[in-house]
Amino acid sequence: MGNSREVVVTGGGTGIGYAVAAAFAKAGDRVTISGRRETVLTEAATLLGARPVVFDAADPVAVEAALEELPDRVDVLVNNAGGNTDFLDGGDEDGLAGFAAAFERNLKSNVVSAALVTHALRDRLAEDARIVTIGSIAAHTGAGSYGAAKAAVEAWNVSVAREFGPRGITANVVAPGLIGETEFFHGKLSDRRREWLIGNTMNKRPGTVEDVAAVVTFLTSPAAGHVTGQVVHVNGGAHPGK
């Protein structure tokens, strides 16, 4: 890989995705960010000096349509799009049909999105490219369909690492714990719950988006060429990874 790489970050308009994109932009890489909200994405891209491509990563038609706007060669792919859809629209419907719909939303938003974008770009990934997918501590501590989706991301990542490994391409998951100053909880995290989550850490603080971006930066560096198929936990020890 040369000094300037082609980087694609899904969900790059806010939070962890924005911080990750900022780290690559600062390093001099050419960055493309995606997201569903055009205004948010365009503003973020302007601040970052990145290229915005508006699409829903969980929608195969939208991903297919976006391909002509995405780079022909991709050195780094960060699958960050996702989140706990229950905070937005879960539980509004009644009965088993409503339960199933809410469950499927989280699977689609977090697993299908990463798989779709990775599959769509598979032939554009450069030799020795890097794939990082953002997971969650919830895969190990539980959080209904969201936890199940992030656990599925970890299993899926193993197959991705195996598939692309012969090309020198690595695939890893970065699993954050509580991260401050993101839209993740959409205002639904109580002070009491927040203090409890911080209390579970060994260093007694919430994580920052920069904490996550730093680990992503390492995993996408030439130095991490023999690290693949792994889950790297960034949670202050709230869940000791093994």
* Domain spans, the chain: 6-234
The predicted-structure confidence for 183-193, as pLDDT tens digits, reads as follows 555 455 667 77
| Region 6-234: CATH code | 3.40.50.720
Contacting residues for 118 by C-beta, under 8 A, at least 6 apart: 77, 79, 131, 133, 160
The predicted-structure confidence for 191-235, as pLDDT tens digits, reads as follows 777 786 887 777 788 889 999 999 999 999 999 999 999 999 999
> What is the side-by-side order of every strand in the sheet holding 74-79?
51-54, 30-35, 6-9, 74-79, 125-134, 170-176, 231-234
The gap from C-alpha 205 to its chain's centroid, in whole angstroms, comes to: 22
pLDDT at position 85: 80
**How long, in residues, is the chain?**
242
- Higher pLDDT, residue 97 or 181: 97
pLDDT at position 110: 96
Catalytic-labelled residue, pool 24, 55, 146, 184: 146
Decide if pLDDT at 239 tops 90: no
Helices then strands, each counted (H, E), the chain: 10, 7
pLDDT at position 186: 46
pTM of the model: 0.93
CA dist 214 and 112 (Å) reads: 25
Active site residue 18: no
Across the strands, what pairs with 34?
53
pLDDT at position 21: 98
CA dist 234 and 156 (Å) reads: 20
CA dist 51 and 31 (Å) reads: 6
